[in-house]
Structure 1
Amino acid sequence: MKRAAYEVAQVLERNREGLAGYCANSWQLRTLHALRKCRSAALGGHIDRCNNPGCHRLHLSYNSCRNRHCPKCQGHKREEWIRAREEELLNVPYFHVVFTLPPELNRACLYEPKLMYSLLFKTAWQVIKGFSANPKFIGANPGMIAILHTWGQNLSLHPHLHCIVPGGGITKSGKWKSARSKGTYLFPVKARSTVFRARFVAALRKELKPRSIAFYESLFKSNWAVYCKRPFFGPSQVVGYLGRYTHKIAIGNHRIKELDNKGVTFAVKDYRHGGKRSLLRLSDQEFIRRFALHVLPKGFARIRHYGILSSYHKKITLTQLRQSLGRVQLQKQKPLQHRLCLVCKKGTLVTLNIFTARGPPEYWMEKLKKQKQNGI
């Protein structure tokens, strides 16, 4: 992919003195500073050499922050995660289900993010598990992979879960039972939405600090969005979907179209109007404030596995299911290329020297300078 012309880090860097004013807590501030320094001299780096005899080119690289909110640090993590999930795919239909919290709960999400997002995960799984256990629909123990997204296209707060659900489950006898209609239908959307709202509000009453009756009544005045997309055409589509959503962040660098003294201009899609594309302009301050909204609490897991797809069941249950259902035929993947020489595209990079924020030793800088002069 072509390198982005502008980066989130540039916005953070030119506002580094005032970042604390846009953060709700010290963890958000630490995250923004990490993103600001990513792949810069501030984090130190390393000198690598290509091991291809016909190349032997030296490479100067600065360290990445490895933060899960960073636009520049997700590519390799995403590929590693996807390849691990490929080994767990079942030869069955998969469904894409989305659970969304209403705007009335945005304020609670701002002040109690860990509680609210945990309840979202918990309630979504209760709904999927409850409907799956009903003999009217499946009558079996299901599985689910849930991925938390907290943003809308304009960086506003929009908490929702993207869930991947296999079209079936395991019965008490240990056999696979498919969803009805040959995997073209999962559960009724309206009923699922009603149950999701009722269960979430009930859990909220127990966990949240006392609120007025009017607050809870307002939550029942609108329908809660529980959307089920058409089933994937095959397991290979599931892999492609995972690649787009698992390690996605609030905004990628490629969406930023312009940076100037007046602010940040970035591309947005209006999904309410058929994905119509437009540009949105925000001041630096408002851009950073909105970006900080999506920094998750420290240690909070935003990708979770449930039921037959959980780590508890993977080693035994999934292996047996793959044998009985047949293996999924996927295209052979190329080796991960994060250590591939970008010049000859054949050799592997071998680290020769590691340096701190003080910079590379003069010896290596001289070698890099000569290499550049010689046009190597």
Structure 2
Amino acid sequence: MNILQNIFADHYEEMLYILHPRQSVIENVDKMISCGDPSYGGALFGCPVCGNLKYVASRCHSRFCPTCGNSYSMIRATTMSFKIIACQHRHLVFTIAEELRPFFLKNRSLLNCLFAAVRSVILRMFQKFSKSDPVTPGFICVLHTFGRDLKWNPHIHCLLSEGGISEHLFWRSVSHFHYKYLRDSFQTVLLSLLHKTLGNSFKKTKASVYSQHKNGFYVYAKPNKCNPSSVIKYIGRYLGRPVIATSRIDDYDDDFVTFHYNRHEDNLLVIETLPVLDFISRLIQHIPEKHFKMIRYYGIYARHRPSDSKIRRAISRDKHKILLSFHKWRTSILSSFGYDPPKCSCGATMLFLELYHKHKRVPLDELYKKVMARSRACRSPSHI
């Protein structure tokens, strides 16, 4: 078990009876704690040459798990890289006022308003470039609810094409973005959506936010030369990554957890120590509701109706030459850590022998007997 699994396993009951977590939190924590437990199933491999055996436990496939979350990010980044068209892209970040954060924490359905506001602002901005022949860009939005200090800070990372397809199926490049328009319009659209959703009870907060943020909400949209050759790096960095990597957890003594991060403002190293339940509370607040989409595609990257197929045919795609399929466990480990899991110490490639179902617990003594039986079978000349 890694250090994060130990923290949650040691304080699981306290988390349930003191923090009263949501059902989606309980499900993800349960998966994360049992991730890599051999008694929950896995696969047995054997070497046909020397008879060595290797048992690989099943993983939990939860984005909250630091191991499986990284694998999820890699798979999604690879999948999305095939959607990216061959043009210049820009990385944008849409942030909100600190006064609004508690509303999104209390009512998580409001997070949909963040996506809707970003979509509306970008499409309107591109329509303003040419009213006679509107341009439709391609952009991918990823929701992040945490900052480097693990506190609640919902914001949107957006990967946007610097250009789009016109109604006459011509590609038009767009490299100049109006920063003030992005800030003001994002603030206006988001506050209007929140007012419409929450009703007049939000009216006072809305007026207060307008008076305190007269220049709009901060939107990072500076040119960053995010071309197709580097777009995978951008996607992999901001796409569905786990809340915290185990390498950032420095110490755990059953009562307190010490972790570090580099402050965003000046990149200064900050070391923070929290009571274990406060640390757990910071992490679990970022677990999304079940089936909530953290990644959304818009414009020419969105799924289209059959009538829109002419637009899809008009787009020339740059099929990145990715030699490894990240959807496969073997190549995923090989690309991440530089070693081939089924490779035996003798140099031969191990063969798959048996699969243990992940929903059926396998007693360890029974597993040991099967392993010994398989070992004798591997060593027999008839098996080789």
When normalised by structure 2's length, the TM-score is 0.83
Match of 1:363 in 2: 369
CA distance in 2, matches of 1:23, 1:347: 48
Corresponding residue pairs, total: 354
Alignment partner of 2:37 out of 35, 40, 53 = 40
Answer yes or no: is 1:98 the counterpart of 2:88. no
Answer yes or no: is 1:298 the counterpart of 2:293. no
List alignment gaps of at least 5 residues for structure 1: 372-376
Identity %: 22
Match of 1:203 in 2: 193
Match of 2:243 in 1: 250
Match of 1:120 in 2: 114
Asked if the contact 1:46/1:351 (under 8 Å) is kept, the reply is no
List alignment gaps of at least 5 residues for structure 2: 331-339, 378-384
Asked if the contact 1:95/1:232 (under 8 Å) is kept, the reply is yes
| Distance 1:25-1:335 versus aligned 2 partners, 3 A rule | closer
Aligned-pair CA distance for 1:212: 5.3
Please state whether the residue corresponding to 1:312 is helix, strand or coil. coil
Asked if the contact 2:77/2:235 (under 8 Å) is kept, the reply is yes
CA distance in 1, matches of 2:275, 2:343: 39
Answer yes or no: is 1:132 the counterpart of 2:132. no
Match of 1:22 in 2: 19
| Distance 1:131-1:359 versus aligned 2 partners, 3 A rule | same
Deviations 1:37-61 (A, max 9, x none): 222246x1123215x6446542223
Please state whether the residue corresponding to 2:251 is helix, strand or coil. strand
Match of 1:169 in 2: 164
Asked if the contact 1:250/1:291 (under 8 Å) is kept, the reply is yes
| Distance 1:353-1:88 versus aligned 2 partners, 3 A rule | closer
- Range with bigger deviation, 28-37 or 148-157: 28-37
Match of 2:59 in 1: 64
- Range with bigger deviation, 167-176 or 56-65: 56-65
Amino acid at match of 1:234: N
CA distance in 1, matches of 2:140, 2:57: 34
CA distance in 2, matches of 1:348, 1:165: 44
CA distance in 1, matches of 2:259, 2:107: 29
Aligned-pair CA distance for 1:13: 0.6
Asked if the contact 2:92/2:220 (under 8 Å) is kept, the reply is yes
Amino acid at match of 1:120: L
Deviations 1:298-335 (A, max 9, x none): 11000000010012279653443116xxx36x454334
Asked if the contact 2:262/2:268 (under 8 Å) is kept, the reply is yes
Alignment partner of 1:9 out of 5, 15, 19 = 5
CA distance in 1, matches of 2:300, 2:341: 40
Asked if the contact 1:169/1:176 (under 8 Å) is kept, the reply is yes
Answer yes or no: is 1:142 the counterpart of 2:137. yes
Alignment partner of 1:276 out of 248, 268, 274 = 268
- Range with bigger deviation, 33-42 or 124-133: 33-42
Match of 1:312 in 2: 304
Match of 1:374 in 2: none
When normalised by structure 1's length, the TM-score is 0.85
Match of 2:334 in 1: none
CA distance in 2, matches of 1:151, 1:218: 24
Amino acid at match of 2:323: Q
Aligned-pair CA distance for 1:239: 0.9
Please state whether the residue corresponding to 2:277 is helix, strand or coil. helix
